[in-house]
Structure 1
Amino acid sequence: MKTRAVIALGANLGDKEKTISKAQKQIGKLRGVELVANSKKYRSQALTEQGVDPNEPEYINAVTIIDTSLSPKKLLSRLNEIENKFGRIRSTKWAARTLDLDIIIFGTSVVETKSLVIPHPRAQERAFVLIPWLEVDPEAALTGLGPVKELAEGMDSMVWVIQ
């Protein structure tokens, strides 16, 4: 049995566009994963613990939708392996990064462990997640919060499509 999952991708260090493209391909090649859709790439300002910071390098973001037979924990493990291949260093929370892969939803599952929270706890606040997601799934819903279309209202000006 396969479960539909939404993965948000982001990078603000290195060759960001190339990294996002390659990461999307690697996600689609994972055993137990079937690629459903990749969004276009979007630019967004860096988000830090204090909020948007125009002094930090801009992010390139995208969303990938998959169907998977992996468990949420196993999927997270595989995504962490991809991040590591791209030189991801986990120094501090909110730090700039070569690649960040987040599971936004996993079917309608609700998961709360030390290493994984699904649905992603801040997805509804993030234009760089909602706008690309809406592009590839106009009928999308964020578990427990409602239609992505409604959550994304007024956020169009916070991201810029580049592809």
Structure 2
Amino acid sequence: MTETPNPHIIDTDTLTGEMRPIRRAVLALGSNLGERMASLQGAVNALADTPDVWITGVSPVYETEPVDCPPEAKNYLNAVVLIDTTLAASRLMDRALAIEDAFERERSEVRNAPRTLDVDLIVVGDRRSDEESLRLPHPRAHERAFVLRPWLDLEPDASLPDRGAVADLLDAADQSGIKVREDLVLEIQ
């Protein structure tokens, strides 16, 4: 799953002539403040409007209990988006942060503080990074049912680099606080 869908497909940038491979990426969305569903839909719309990004799948929406959050934190709405992109991982991260900022995400010293929108890069092709500003694959995705469950819905054979099959990781994760919200559907525009 994390490999380029076809490593021989190349997109040529029309301005620079630079050849860039198309990579599959997995992004996790979450919101537990404000208009949660509107924030998730807004993130999907913003990703769809991003040059050099093509949405290939959007998972069902899940409502999840907060994990490692302050006691007053409310339940999250979560989803996963699959994309193909020619953007570099660092540019995709910049875009994810810009989308969060557009939805007035406030950053705090409090770990896992409530937020209007969270856009996490889980994998970008087979890229690995351990920089402070970009960690790939996401270092905690393997233990988060709110990432694994919606990802598995989209790709039953998905694999998280260096960790294994998403189905096996989900079996080992705590799934007690996660439930699908069949009444909520994210649209791809």
**TM-score, scaled to structure 1:** 0.93
Q: Which amino acid aligns with 1:145?
A: R
Q: What is the match of residue 79 of structure 2? A: 62
Partner residue of 2:134? 116
Give the aligned CA root-mean-square deviation in angstroms. 1.4
Q: What are structure 2's unaligned runs of at least 5 residues?
A: 1-20, 183-189
Higher-Rg structure is 2
Counterpart of 1:159, as a letter, is I
Q: Which amino acid aligns with 1:148?
A: V
TM-aligned CA deviation for residue 46 of structure 1: 1.1
Q: Deviations over 1:53-72 (max 9, x none)?
A: 5x421000000000000001
- Counterpart of 1:86? 103
User: Please, which runs of 5 or more residues in structure 1 have no aligned partner?
Assistant: none
What do the CA deviations read for 1:86-143 (whole angstroms, capped 9, x no partner)? 0011112311100001000111111111111000000011000000000011110000
State the alpha-carbon separation in 2 of the partners of residues 116 and 49 from structure 1: 22
- Hey, which bits of structure 1, 4+ residues long, moved more than 2 A? 154-158
Corresponding residue for 1:96?
114
Q: Where in structure 2 are the equivalents of 1:5-44 lying within 5 Å?
A: 5-44=25-64
Q: Shift of residue 43 of structure 1? A: 0.5
Tell me the distance in 1 between the aligned counterparts of 2:66 and 2:58: 22
- Give the count of matched residue pairs: 160
Q: Who is 1:76 aligned against?
A: 93
Q: Alignment identity in percent? A: 38
